[in-house]
Structure 1
Amino acid sequence: MSAARSYDCVLRAWNAHEAELRAHLAWRLGDAAAADDLLQDVFVKAMRAGRDFCVLDNPRAWLYQVARNALVDHVRRTRPHEPLPDDLPWEPPEPPPAVDALADCVARVLEQLPPADADILRRCDLEGQTQADYARAHGLSVPGAKSRLQRARARLRERLTQTCGVRLDDQGVCCHAPARAAA
């Protein structure tokens, strides 16, 4: 299809729907001049589509979709914005104290564990290293790394219970009593 023929199909569809598009945009905007500006943008997009426009099943729907998008963009650009004052006080939201206390307790308990336990817990549970990668890096078999991690988790669980007042159920942490964290 030649460029002239592709423009012919755009012009035919445009002539058939321009008036209703203009009326729709003017009604939505309440401003005929702004509607004409958006209508021009829609026409340019249709012309740029060229051959692709000619194979559309429903050129009217395509034109309305482009007009709707142009309208939304226009409203977003022209919506009044009130700048915030420069001296607006900002306070970061307060994190839940129990979570902070538990995080502090976990960090403190990790320091109390044997270095090998603390290392595997940090790498596999906190940093996301796979057990296979840990095993390879430390000259262990994968089952050996898994066993080491399970033993380290058991010692961590015991220390969290004793030191921080953490109670565990079948799904993990049930309750945390941060007041006992200093014990």
Structure 2
Amino acid sequence: MMACILRAWCAHQAELCRFLRHHLSSETDADDLLQEVFLKAVRTREGFCTLNNPRAWLFQVARNALIDLLRSRHPQAPLSESFAQPPAEDTDPIDDLSACLPRVLGELSADDRLAITLCDLQGLTQQALAKRLGLSLAGAKSRVQRARARLRARLIEACQVKFDDTGRVCCYTPRTTDDEHG
């Protein structure tokens, strides 16, 4: 049991030591963490000898010990009461946006509204839309694409929809029935 641990330790100790000393300003701290890594390997007993990649395991333990040490050194401020309370609602903004959609959809042209309603809301394929409206498939695809672009522009303008860095809806301003167009 100890032979496989000692072989792995002898093969990787110097590299582990350089890694820890590179990330810590104190050689003593690095040596202490190195000792913790060794002790953890010894405590795993036979389990260590069955590892496919002892080097990777040793480095993962060293990284975790390093992270724990660095976290313990940073002062941690207590959370304010507002963080302790769960949010009032845990809904996806895109779900809430459905309240704005019917009114904005009603402001689109009849052709745009029909394309969006049939394909996006009722699940009709663009091929079926083309057949139903007597259009080519390319014409139906183009109509749906243009309708979606106009709907998006209208939602952005009318409901002040905002997007995050990934393009997902992050927030919007709800419209009331008293709001004017735009």
TM norm. shorter chain > 0.5:
no
**TM norm structure 1:** 0.44
Q: Which has the larger Rg?
A: 1
**TM norm structure 2:** 0.44
